[in-house]
Amino acid sequence: MFSKSLTQAVLLACLAISTVHAAVPQISIKGTKFFYSNGTQYYMKGIAYQLTQADPLIDTEQCQRDADLMGQLGANAIRVYHVDPAGDHTGCMTAFANAGIYLLIDLDTFETDIDPFRTSWNQTQFDAFAEVMDAFHTYDNTLGFFIGNEVIALNNQSLAAPYIKAAARDMKSYRDSKGYRKIPVGYSAADIAELRPMLQDYLACGTNTSEAIDFFGLNAYEWCGPNDMKTSGYNRLNTFAENLNVPIFFSETGCNTVRPRDFQDQGAILGPDMDEIWSGAIIYEWIEEANNYGLISYGPPVSATVVASDIEGGFSRRGTPTPVAPDFTNLQNAWATLHPKGVASSAYTPSVTPPACPSSTAGGWLVNGNVALPSLGQVLQATTTGASVTGTATGTATGSAASASSTTKGSANGGKEIAGMSAGLVAVMLGFMWFL
């Protein structure tokens, strides 16, 4: 009797697990596009989701509340910047799967990210990234992994690009060695004019696809208020993306310098102007914070000095999500009218080949050609006294520092908060050495 009951319990448990993991069809990449397992093209209508600097995917009750409202909004994806691989994510992953929502997970943390000022790719980072992949590879609604977010935040930091590419190479190799589903590994880039389109092309270039990223995300906030393809600069982004052989999408967008946000850019991204090339967008962000990007709030703000449960920086991080008016409704209405059909996988034959590895440019892109990628344990040496850089292997790097600035969002996701730097403040020298 006990044996029979135990057998039934095991079968029921296996069925429950199977149901959790089969709530949504898997998504994979073919050429420059994402496809559901039934062959229908997938376009992202996504939200950046990081309630605190810790892991937002271990609170099942909160995830369920948020997933329900995201379903009403029309979202089908979220991006999570930091997770704890030791946490139990099944409840949250199930809640989002039941709402038809897929997840893009960043592999790094504040402690393990690739740092452009002390650039390395070492065993500690590899192990930490692998633990996150181990934790999320089983879920069918895991859409992809980011190897980094805005690692290169200034136009004089492009010498970190080979380390980003090396990390993608090694994590793809780890994924395959473990027999995991081929969940794609990509990168989320800051929108730096001097590095367009060199960064995206470099990360995708080369004849060895095992060393290239699987997709490219762009954090762009150019379309602000009433605009069009030309005045926003999206026509340039479209042109740069035409020759990219992997999927490209906006991994952050949603300018808030013009209030309220009307999200007119979604009509371009998910409409005929761009939907042939781009795979959608992630709107920044779910929770209202001091940066005023939020689509919902969990309660009225309080003083930033208040110390209380579930409150950080003066904002509640947990509770019943209440739409921020009129931004939430504006996005909801915009997405409700946008249903790009794309192309069926069976009717699609990829024709775009990898781009040429870009040459270095004065005052901009510093990596010249298809340079040999660093091995695990190598470190990029930097100095403030040099004025140029040299490289090794199949290419060289050359150039000098130039000024740049980036938008400060300053939220729980830990986005880079970098003020403008004057020309010549930092000049970087390239030199690979074994990490000791």
CA distance 127 to 133: 10
Helical residues (DSSP H) of 205-326, grouped into ranges: 229-232, 234-241, 265-269
CA distance 216 to 200: 7
- Residue 282's H or E segment, with its range, is strand 278-283
Helix (H, G, I), strand (E, B) or coil at 45: strand
Cα distances (angstroms) measured from residue 202 to each of 118, 123, 335, 358, 422: 21, 24, 33, 6, 26
- Any catalytic annotation for residue 276? no
- Residue 64's H or E segment, with its range, is helix 60-73
* Number of Cβ atoms within 10 Å of the Cβ of 360: 19
State the catalytic residue, choosing from 252, 285, 288, 289: 252
- Any catalytic annotation for residue 194? no
Tell the residue number behind the tokens 């990210």, with chain if given: 113
Helix (H, G, I), strand (E, B) or coil at 353: coil
State the catalytic residue, choosing from 111, 131, 150, 211: 150
* Number of Cβ atoms within 10 Å of the Cβ of 256: 18
Q: CA-based angle 280:286:287, to the nearest 5?
A: 160
DSSP 194: G
DSSP state string for 185-229: EEEEEE--GGGTTHHHHHHH-SS-GGGS-SEEEEE-----SS--H
Residues belonging to the active site: 150, 252
